A and B are shown apart, each in its own frame.
Chain A
Amino acid sequence: MTNHWADLQNAKVFLIEGSNAAENHVMSMKWIRKAQEKGAKIIHVDPRFNRTSSIADIYARIRPGADIAFLGAVINHVLQQGLYDAEYVKLHTNALLLAKDEFALEDGVFTGYHEDKHKYDTASWAYDLDAATQKPKKAASLDDPRCVFSKLKAHFARYTPEVAEEISGVPAEQVKLIAETFANNRPGTILYALGMTQHTVGIQNIRCYGILQLLLGNIGKAGGGVNALRGEPNVQGACDMSVLNGYMFGYINAPNHNHPTLEAWTKDNGTFRRKFTVNGLKAWFGENATAENDFGWRWLPKKNGAKDYTVFGMIDDAYAGKLKLLWAVGQNPMVTNPNLNYVHEALSKLDMLVVQELWDTETASFWQRPGADPKAIKTEVLLLPAAYFMEKEGTISGSGRLVQWRYAAVKPPGKAKADLEIIDTVFRKVRDLYAGSTDPKDEPLAKAVWNYPAEHTAEAVLQEIGGRVLSEVTLPDGKVLKPGAFVGGIGQLQADGSTSSGAWIYAGVFGGGKNLSKRRDAKTDPSGLGMFPGFAWTWPGNMKILYNRASCDADGKPWPGTTPLVWWDATEKKWKGVDTPDVPDATKGPETPEGQRAFRMNGEGIGRLMAAVYKDPDAKEKGLPRDGSYTPKDGPFPEFYEPIESPVANVLHPKAQHNPCVKYPRVPGKQPVGTAKDFPYVLMTSSIAEHWCAGSTTRNVPWLNELQPECVVELPTQLAEKLRVKGGDKVRVSSARGEMVVKAVVTKRMQVMKIAGQDVPVVWMPYNWGFKGLSTGPSTNVLTIDAVDPGAGTQETKACLVNVVPVEEAVAQR
């Protein structure tokens, strides 16, 4: 989240699309309802009329996978009707920067496409740079046809409300109503979850949100923002801690094979992030990491730049017999991964599977899966009993980036142990096995700092994450940091190895030598906005609202008529506020370049309506970039493409039916693609209020099983009538990948939609069941497709094609 949970009470309008917040993030409703009581409007866009829809002021039914068609039209309406915040757009976005003339979109494909590789050469997606400074040239007004704003307008001009209706099913009049309601009530916030990301256009779906919120001036403000409602208790923290193949030390790009030195890596990633990398290497390798040995750079494993290291790459490699050992902790891919029959085959080819869990899950017991022959499965399996959250201590980070300490209340049952202890023990055992080795490959194990105490282990690790002063540092303001002290914040981190931080964004969580995640002041809120700065600790730097510099104008004054968050105090020569100011240096005022970088984590320092290719040159180190900006692989602007399995042709450009960057199937024979002829209905899946994700935990709780005893398929009334199916009848749901039998729920919540002149029935299923636990049932993910977003690697579980037929016995009995 750019903002945080309690900040939802400050919004005047909500666009909730791709989230059933009322069921899946129940506590969000506490704050959304507060805002609604004060007059805020709620817009809910979803293929299924659910509990969130029931409290919305406007509910729009949308076809799964058609979000860009709808949001493109909302953006277009905002642009055509002049509903955007022109001053904010000119100051805080790249609207005025000049883009290259050769950039274009033709027949749904951007310039630079290589069909054979499913890839773009992105050189034309760039700015027109000043030859001397290598900085983008700037237009005098938004009317300049060469500027980003004009390119944006031209790009979205094709997305008329009528086109949106044809593709998405949202009526044209409702598209306009939503655009106007959202634009005319500010600040407005956007909430989304996996409903928006689990598509082959997931990144571009969210790009639409970024563009819309930048146009409306809603980023950096209380009650605004783009807010991802994340699905798991510490999915935010797991990302922060780089449990993601592509990152290290907190969203820092992990090195590829062609980065043999830190310098080679810096050429691609910039000097700004090199500093944090050095702090990470110092945290991992301590005194063994020196300037002379490139801070131990050679001890990091370098990825093959062309290889897929996501969970889908893992499964594909397991199936190919290349991945030998898979170790899963608290994750149950035999329920949650798409295309489950293929996942089962892949697991069966592993040498060893290790599962660290509370329960015996579908993954741990995959060799017992109904229909499987255990004798034929040669995989060794270890199931290690783990402690649950109330049985251990440590921190988690919620969606709002609040890092909270949990105390251990009770001991784990039986011989179960905390994951921290298991990980620590295994690392030491492996290190011992290599004791005395002189093989260079084993150096990382010997050179790493790994000597955590047996007591208060979690706190010791948090200290390493937060960071330490290693040798005396004198800060620009004259303050001296002594060795052994804890780092007070990101600003104290040094580039020369005199400080360390395992994840720079958490620098300062132990500021002043205190564990700030343990703070409990739920009474003091000087902002009156629900910030409570003395309750736990928020990364970065206890900042509650990211990009809050954008809440001010060019002079550092809060925009007229808005809630002040931060401001430039000309007397004290300092950025101040009720929140931690999001500026590179609190002493550099609006008259300096640093004082005008509201989006300082981009190379340009401003919000990116066009995600242009750009690297900001370093002023001091010639030839090296200071920082770069992220450009999605599939385009600098979002473009609508149909899901891989879709019942209709792409209305905008039939030649570019799907995302041109998606390569699918990846594994011939194992990833079949169904057509509407055999599988005429669109399936969307999601979680429910009573069961959660794989259901490993919730299906072992009797109360929850009583509330939701089994998996079902929700069918539109019109479809059920056609199929002669009544509520409670058993039906067989099938896709090109698998089939299952469940009971039908016949409901108006789902509808037959009119798309591109065709009737398109949309059905829904929860995905929380499997063959283990107290409540068992077939897993919906045998049906779903494992085609993924080319940038994020997120699978298209929100839109695939299925068929539904009544099970004969059920009909015969009637």
Chain B
Amino acid sequence: MDQNDSGTSAQGGIVLTPAQLRSRKARSIAIGCAVGALVIFFYALTIIKLGPHALDGGW
């Protein structure tokens, strides 16, 4: 896709510079890690709060 002076392509879409692409990838990885950490966090929290005998009383 060709990029003009204002940073948009001939089709009107946005074209990121190589530096912007690199930083976006780094941000995406960081967000992925944060979401992964939250999954572990909530899993551990659920186990702690419910405890291993959570279902002992039946449904």
The judgment on whether A and B are partners is no
Interface on B for A, CB 8 Å cutoff?
none
